[in-house]
Amino acid sequence: MNLDLDKIKAFKELLAEPKRVVILSHTNPDGDAIGSSLALSQVLQKQGHTVNCILPNRFPYYLKWMPCSDQLIIHAQDKLGITESVIAAAEVVICADMSSLARLESLTEIIATNTTAKRVLIDHHLNPSSEFDLVFSFPESSSTAYLVYEILKAAYGCQVLDQTIASLLYVGMITDTGNFAFSNINPDLFRAAADLLETGIDVPEIYNKVYNSFTEGRARLFGYVINRKMKTLLKGTVAYMSLTEDEMRRFWFQQGDSEGFVNYPLSIKKVKMSAMFSEQQGGFIRVSLRSHGNVDVNTFARRYFNGGGHHNAAGGKSFMTMEQTIAHYIASVEEYHNEGLV
């Protein structure tokens, strides 16, 4: 990765003296969002800064073991107004693993109206917004955690990596690459992982905590979704699944239980594109999209579901009913197919 040295210099100058820093990440945070945010926080605290990490809503239960996760402020559960006060006092706001402030949802307006802090973006999604004073945007990066690793190495050297920080970055790297199995990996990523391993992190333990710590309810929900809810289109090359709130309640759903479900149809040889539709408490349907090879779900998400993301992994929202959303998806897939895009 070729980082702009002028931007690294600007980053160091912005944080040359102790400041009040707020680090934010997106709604429905995943391992990359949490790992990159907390790792950055730990390094900046070492440099003498006062740092608060804020998430819009809860993160998955199976990531609560992550070091320093007890330091996260969950805005949706904040009844004391801590979020507003620390943002108002912030001198620097860093947004990690999100391409625009809109990904903060309930926090977006607070950032827009309640602070004059300098804004820094560290992200690997396509189409970064122009809302930031300093931007590190690398869509080619396999994860934001890897990008944070490169920035920290360039700014402060590998000596800032201790076992805690390395564990956080490693979680971000493996969760956004399918444990180094997706097409977005490269040799530099493995060199970075080697640096993290040299701190003494326990790779088997991390893997088990991330991938083998689910509830019985999730296992039964997964079986139900695959057996009863997975449908295919275009002679089995496109798949989709859906979950209503009632169905999730039947299986004692917890935040994060459906994470990764959308990937499973891609294990079927013929399937090139997969979608997952899940009802959310805010009155909308979350749309998750995954694909293989040349099938561009980022463009699909932007065109049909007001979303976006990566070439092979994207998402969006629907404010229609589940039935209408699925009908819209089927019609959109047909149109996309007729254009030779799937």
b/e sequence 103-140, b meaning 16+ C-beta within 10 Å: bbbebbebbeebbebbbbbbbbbbebbebbeebbbbbe
- Is the full-model pTM beyond 0.85? yes
CATH number of the domain bearing residue 327: 3.10.310.30
- What pLDDT is attached to residue 263? 94
Are residues 182 and 226 part of one domain?
A: no
Give yes or no: residues 57 and 206 share one domain: yes
Question: Do residues 259 and 200 share a domain?
Answer: no
One domain, residues 44 and 16 = yes
- The confidence band for 113, taking pLDDT boundaries of 50, 70 and 90, is confident
Name the domain boundary from 211, 239, 268. 211
pLDDT confidence of 335, banded at 50, 70, 90?
very high
Dist CA 32 CA 60 (whole Å): 12
Q: How confident is the model at residue 183 (pLDDT cuts 50, 70, 90)?
A: confident
Residue 177 is part of a domain; what is its CATH number? 3.90.1640.10
Q: Are residues 12 and 62 in the same domain?
A: yes
User: Which of 211, 234, 258 finishes a domain?
Assistant: 211
pLDDT for residue 45: 97
Q: What is the mean pLDDT of residues 78-103?
A: 93
Distant-in-sequence, close-in-space partners of 162: CB < 8 Å, separation ≥ 6: 42, 199
Identify whether the C-beta of residue 54 lies closer than 8 Å to the C-beta of residue 24.
Answer: yes
Distance CA 100, CA 110 (A): 14
Report the distance separating Cα 176 and Cα 162, nearest Å.
22
Q: At what angle do helices 144-156 and 5-14 cross, to 10 degrees?
A: 80
Confidence of residue 336 (pLDDT cuts 50, 70, 90): very high
Rounded to a whole number, what is the distance in angstroms from the first to the last CA of the chain?
30
Whole-angstrom distance, CA of residue 174 vs CA of residue 200: 17
271-315 pLDDT tens trace: 999 999 999 887 899 999 999 989 999 999 999 999 988 899 999
CA atoms within a 13 Å half-sphere pointing along the CA-CB vector of 209: 16
Q: Which two tokens stand for residue 141?
A: 């990066």
Amino acid at 23: I
88-95: average pLDDT: 96
Domain boundary pick from 211, 243, 272: 211
Check whether residue 198 and residue 250 sit in a common domain: no
- Phi first, then psi, for residue 290 (nearest 5°) are -135, 155
Q: Are strands 92-96 and 118-123 parallel, antiparallel or unpaired?
A: parallel
Q: Are residues 205 and 228 in the same domain?
A: no
Contacts of 126-132 spanning 24+ positions with Cβ under 8 A: 126/99, 126/298, 126/308, 126/309, 126/310, 127/99, 127/308, 128/99, 128/100, 129/99, 129/100, 129/101, 129/102, 131/100, 131/101, 132/95
Asked if residue 86 has pLDDT above 80, the reply is yes
Q: How many domains would you assign to the chain?
A: 2
Q: Is residue 14 domain-shared with residue 88, that is, in the same domain?
A: yes
* Pairing of the two strands 231-233 and 238-243: antiparallel
68, pLDDT greater than 80: yes
List of residues 6+ apart from 26 with CB closer than 8 A: 33, 56, 97, 98, 103, 104
Same domain, yes or no: 253 and 144: no
- Average pLDDT on 325-338 reads 96
Q: What is the pLDDT of residue 341?
A: 85
Same domain? For 170 and 80 the reply is: yes
Q: Are both 98 and 47 inside the same structural domain?
A: yes
Rounded to an integer, what distance in angstroms lies between the CA atom of residue 35 and that of residue 31?
A: 6
Range of the domain at 48: 5-211
- Please spell the DSSP secondary structure of 256-286, one letter per residue: TTTTTGGGGGGGSTT--EEEEEEE-TTSSEE
- 43 in the same domain as 180: yes
Query: What is the rounded distance in angstroms from the CA atom of residue 38 to the CA atom of residue 103?
Result: 18
What mean pLDDT comes out for the span 209-214?
93
How confident is the model over 10-29, as pLDDT tens digits? Answer: 999 999 999 999 999 999 99
